[in-house]
Each structure stands twice: as C-alpha cells, then as structure tokens.
Amino acid sequence: MRLRLLSWSMLLCICQQPTVDVCAQSARERAFDAAASVSEQGYEWLAWSTTHIGHRLTGSDQGHRAELLADSLFRASDLDTVFFEPFEAQAWSRGTVSLTVGDTKGYQHLACVALANTPLSCTTEAPIVDAGNGLQEDLDRLGPASKGAALLINLGLVAAAEGTPNLHRSEKAALAMKHGASAILFVNQVVGGVVLTGTASIDGSLIPIPAACLSTEDGTHLRERLGRGEVLTARLNMHNRSEWVTARNIIGELHGTEHPEEIILIGGHLDSWDLATGATDNGLGSFSILDLARLMASMPFRPQRTVRFVLFMGEEQGLLGSTALAERYTENGTLERIACMINLDMSGNPQGFGVSGPAGWHTVMQGACDRIHRIDTAAFEGRTSEEVWLHSDHEPFLLRGVPVIYPLSDLGSHVYGCYHSTCDDIHLVEPSAMTNNVRFVGALVYELAAASRLPGHFSPEELKARLISEGLETSLRIAGVWPWE
C-alpha cells in the first residue's frame, strides 16, 4: 500500500510545473526507499554464502564459487549488462606456521598466524627486538640493532604522540626489511587472544622474510620480559603455497537514460581472508551492492547516468582486482567517463558520506546528504567528510584523479575486533546495517545520477597537493605508487 501511494504521489508530482524535476526526483527516492526498507535480501544472500561457500579467498575454490554466485545474482536481477573482467594474480594461501620463543632456560610455543605473501618455506631464528610501532622514527632509534632481528611491531599505534599517522602493515613490513630485519612479529591490539591475518606485501608479490601476528597478551608478555633484560630468540617456521591464477571482477550495469556516457561506479571487494567467512569484511559491503543492484533494476524508473556495480577480487592481497580494472580503464579511455567511485568496504548504517574530490564535490555531497536526511531523520544524520584515506579498492581510482565517495559508518568495536580474524562470521552482521546501506547509498546514487552537472576529476596538481596535505605522501612513497618524482 505504501509503495502504491508513493507511486501515485510521484505521478502527481511529475504533472506539476515548474518544480517537476525536484519533485519527481524526491518521489523516486522515496519510492526506492520504501522498497529498500523492507528488504533483507542482501543479508539472506550473505548468510547463505557463509554457510555454503565459507571464505572467499582469491584463487581458492571458494573464491571461484563466490565469483559465480555474484554473477548469477546480478543476472537474476535483470541488469542491462553483466560480465566478468578477468585479471592475473599471484594467489597466496596459508599452510602451517609455528613460533617458538627461547631464552637461556627453555622454550615457549606461542600461537600466531602467518601474514599473507610471506615465504613459501622458511625457518628463521633471530633475536627479538622491540621496534614499538614500527614507524620510521622507531626503526631509526634502533639503528643497527634491527639488522638480523625478529622485530616486535604493533599493528596499531601504542603510546604515540597525538596526531601521529599510522602505517599499513605492508608499509611497516617494507620499512622493517629496508632496515635489515630477518622476521617480523606483529602484535595485535585487540584483547582476548585475537590474532589476525592480512597481506605483508605492498604489491601482492612474495616478501623474502617471514611475518606473523601475535595476540596483544603474548606481545605484552614478550615486551615485559625484554624490559627485564631477558635475551629472547624467536624461531619462526612456515610453509605456504602460491600460484598464478586468473581471478575475475564481477560487473553489472544499469544504462543511464540521459547521460549514459557518464558512469557512477559503485564498488566493493567480494574476496575475504580464509580464517573465517569474511561476513563483515567485506560480505557486508559486497552483498549490499548485490541487493542495491537488484532493487534499482526493479524500479519503474532508471537513473539518468549509467550506474556500474563492481565486485572486486584480490583486494586483500593488495588491491589486485581494482588496480587491474583502473589500469584497463586508463588504457581504453573508460576512466575519463567515471564521474566518481563509491566504495563500500565494511560499511553499514551510513550516517553520512565522505568525499575525496576537488573543489565542488563537497558542496554536491552536502546537498545530497541534506536531502537524504529528510527521507529518514532518525537513521541518517547527514554528516559529511573530506578525509582522504588509502588501502581499499578506491585507491587505484583516486591516484588517477577519480573522485571517491565512501559511507561514514561505525560498526562498533565488536566488529572491528574481528577484522581479518577467526570470528568474522555472520553473527556479527545486523540485517538492518545492510538494509540501510542499500537505502542510503541508493538515495545518493539517484541524487548523483540526477545532477545537472557533476564536478570533474582531480587535476594532477590538485591531487598531489591534496595527498600531501592529508599526510599520505610517505605511505605512497613506501608503497612505490607515489605518482610524482
């Protein structure tokens, strides 16, 4: 009944001039919101996947099955176009790992997990040296003591000065290797014996030294022993596997009615790590995209600009799928047609949207958020941000000048504490978080699609200045992807 009333109000609105465009747009968004508000299809698909597929590691059988599932769901939603975009990837998978810590009196076995893209077979024995947060200043303070050592490094920041930017674990690994480390023992900052995985490689290639993650409790105990002057030695043994595979990004599209040449790209990574099922990272985002595509295709109206839905593989191993797609789009000229890229990575219950774009984009975002806020003043605050961040599938597009948009979400410590770990399963996902993902991201897409004109891309000079002002130059230089000399 609610949908029927909204349909009638939309027809009446369209017949009234001169506010036809604004009124019709509002009615469309409310009609979409009414449909999205009663849908939990994305959650149901994700729950099925966690039970019947499990994790979605790129290159694994489960990853391949997840690709086929996403393709089937896009096709069942009756999108205008659905296709695979294949790319070659070096697919790492874990085997066994063991860590033994010894002193002059004996040995102790500690639980750990190997980080991805670590050696296929190695046994390394080295003295343990505390490298604090593993930042450049920490390693400079150690000097030659880091050479040949097993460096104990925090994943997060501990006792750092206010405003100190952290580095990604792969960037910390790169710095540690540059300073001559023989092994890296990352310390998680989540209490409760939680250990996590993630890539230790910047570009997806294998690194030459072993890297593993310990719990915060074991890391604290080791630091206490080192602080008492004990001499500790780590023996890290691991055996992993790696092979070149063909992985596939999965793409679906709704063609625009007025500006089909302009593309709003909505992306999120489908792949996950293998310790659990990746329900929050990033089933929450990717299955929301699948449901968003289904609902938009079911509406009796189409967006004015083309909407392209992309589920990336290989994000966890180093943004492999998104980098391959951005490179392909650069080569064939498609990148110029991408008006913006919306990235859904661990997003849920959006309270607003952030935008990393040149002048004009924040004004567009603020206006859109204000209008979406009127649809649901309780669930959507309408907040905006202009923060620029890295290490997700938007990065390859951002570095080529494409404006990037992202939901402003707070999933809670119980979710972030299971990031890349054995507890990232469906019990952490609230169906309403996915429902609101679809509602508010969908409303934003209709807003952007209907705009008379959208601001353009970053110029190289604008992008360089923005990255420097956000303090991201160091990270990008360590990663070897700083676009300028």
CA pair distance 449, 153, nearest whole angstrom: 46
pLDDT category at 39 given cuts 50, 70, 90 is very high
- Round to the nearest angstrom and report the end-to-end CA distance of the chain: 61
Residue 24 lies in a domain: no
Q: Helix, strand, or coil here: 158? A: coil
Which of the listed residues 183, 213, 241 is the one where a domain comes to its end? 241
Alpha carbon separation from 309 to 281, 352, 455 (Å, rounded): 18, 20, 21
Which of the listed residues 241, 270, 305 is the one where a domain comes to its end? 241
Considering only 16-30, 133-147, 156-170, 196-210, which range has the smallest mean pLDDT? 16-30
pLDDT category at 137 given cuts 50, 70, 90 is very high
DSSP element (H, E) containing 123: strand 121-130
CATH of the domain at 321: 3.40.630.10
Residue 54 lies in a domain: yes
Count how many domains the chain has. Answer: 2
CA neighbor of 280 nearest in space, from 141, 422, 440, 160: 422
Which of the listed residues 181, 212, 241 is the one where a domain comes to its end? 241
Give percent above pLDDT 70 in the chain.
Answer: 96
Say what the pLDDT of residue 4 is: 47
Regarding whether 374 and 310 lie in a shared domain, the answer is yes
CA pair distance 164, 444, nearest whole angstrom: 33
Regarding whether 237 and 102 lie in a shared domain, the answer is yes
CA atoms in the 13 A half-sphere facing the CB of 380: 26
Q: In the predicted model, is pLDDT for residue 2 greater than 80?
A: no
Regarding whether 156 and 110 lie in a shared domain, the answer is yes
CA pair distance 433, 396, nearest whole angstrom: 27
β-sheet bridge partners, residue 121: 239
Say what the pLDDT of residue 233 is: 98
Regarding whether 124 and 225 lie in a shared domain, the answer is yes
Residue 12 lies in a domain: no
Residue 112 lies in a domain: yes
Regarding whether 332 and 263 lie in a shared domain, the answer is yes
Say what the pLDDT of residue 19 is: 41
Burial of 330 (0-12, 13-18, 19+ CB in 10 A): middle
Regarding whether 269 and 165 lie in a shared domain, the answer is no
For 181, the token pair is 């480390």
Residue with tokens 């997700």: 392
Q: In the predicted model, is pLDDT for residue 47 greater than 80?
A: yes
Say what the pLDDT of residue 25 is: 84
Residue 4 lies in a domain: no
Regarding whether 170 and 274 lie in a shared domain, the answer is no
Degrees (nearest 5) of the Cα angle 365, 26, 44?
80
Regarding whether 408 and 265 lie in a shared domain, the answer is yes
CATH of the domain at 133: 3.50.30.30
Q: In the predicted model, is pLDDT for residue 14 greater than 50?
A: no
pLDDT category at 5 given cuts 50, 70, 90 is very low
Residue 2 lies in a domain: no
Say what the pLDDT of residue 271 is: 98
CA neighbor of 236 nearest in space, from 96, 93, 420: 96
Regarding whether 195 and 153 lie in a shared domain, the answer is yes
Regarding whether 139 and 48 lie in a shared domain, the answer is no
β-sheet bridge partners, residue 153: 186
Say what the pLDDT of residue 26 is: 87
355: phi then psi, degrees, rounded to nearest 5: -140, 135
Regarding whether 121 and 46 lie in a shared domain, the answer is no
CA pair distance 434, 52, nearest whole angstrom: 20
Task: Determine the average pLDDT of the residues in 88-105.
Answer: 94
pLDDT category at 146 given cuts 50, 70, 90 is very high
Regarding whether 232 and 264 lie in a shared domain, the answer is no
Span 346-360, pLDDT tens digits:
999 999 999 999 999
Task: Determine the average pLDDT of the residues in 404-409.
Answer: 98
Note if the pTM is more than 0.85. yes
Q: Give Cα 420 distance to the centre of its chain.
A: 12
Residues near 294 by Cβ (< 8 Å), separated by ≥ 6? Answer: 41, 73, 76, 77
Task: Give the residue numbers spanning the domain of 362.
Answer: 40-80+255-479
Residue 438 lies in a domain: yes
Span 177-232, pLDDT tens digits:
999 999 999 999 999 999 999 999 998 899 999 999 999 999 999 999 999 999 99
Residues near 117 by Cβ (< 8 Å), separated by ≥ 6? Answer: 90, 92, 199, 200, 201, 204, 205, 206, 207, 242, 317, 318
Residue 8 lies in a domain: no
